[in-house]
Amino acid sequence: MVVLFLAMSLDGYIADRSGGVDWLSGQREQEEGIDTYAEFVKDVDTVIMGWNTYHQVVTELSPGEWVYSDLTSYVVTHRELPSTEQIIFTHEDPCALVKKLKQEPGKHIWICGGSKVIQQLMEEDLIDRYYISVIPTILGDGIRMFGTMEKEIKLQLVKTQTYNGITDLVYQHRL
């Protein structure tokens, strides 16, 4: 199963104007939240992301260690970078990569970002489940989660939960 697991602002942005994500929090800083990530990642063994997402993780969010060390990570990029045991840099089209990985045994494939990778996978209808956390912030501008598409994708809501002003919405394809 291919799962998009991402947070967005109430007005549909995954990053602010400068690409920052320091707004990703609930309405009260001190309040204990639900650890949705820990529960989600139990069923995942592969993560796919674009270069910008990778760069943000290693330079801003977790510069000291690779936070996805328990997962096989694919970074879709045009840059020529040497892969490691944990991180595979690839020029492969994200759709072709996902199709190939779906044929291999394993757990779920997590699409971690960014918007260009998400858009390409949506165009080919390769995302099976959408797990979106809506953050109680209106950014007004930034990097949109969803761009324009040639077709619509009909979904059905399978789960919701709220905590600290955040609303998690889980959708899958409508039957």
Helix or strand (DSSP H, E) at 50: strand 44-50
The confidence score (pLDDT) of residue 71 equals 97
What is the DSSP code (8-state) at residue 104? S
Structure confidence at residue 33 (pLDDT): 67
Answer whether 12's CB lies under 8 Å from 45's CB.
no
- For the chain, the first-to-last Cα distance in angstroms comes to 16
Q: What is the pLDDT of residue 32?
A: 67
Global confidence as pTM: 0.92
Interacting residues of 65 by C-beta distance below 8 A, sequence separation 6+: none
Structure tokens at 86: 């944990």
Residues 68, 73, 78, 84: what is their CA dihedral angle, to the nearest 10 degrees?
A: 90
The tokens for 107 are 């757990």
pLDDT of residue 29: 75
| Nearest residue to 107 (alpha-carbon basis) of 125, 79, 124, 128 | 128
One digit per residue, the tens of pLDDT, for the chain of length 175 reads 999 999 999 999 999 999 899 899 888 876 666 788 899 999 999 999 999 999 999 998 899 899 999 999 999 999 999 999 999 999 999 999 999 999 999 999 999 989 999 999 999 999 999 999 999 999 999 999 998 888 899 999 999 999 999 999 999 998 7
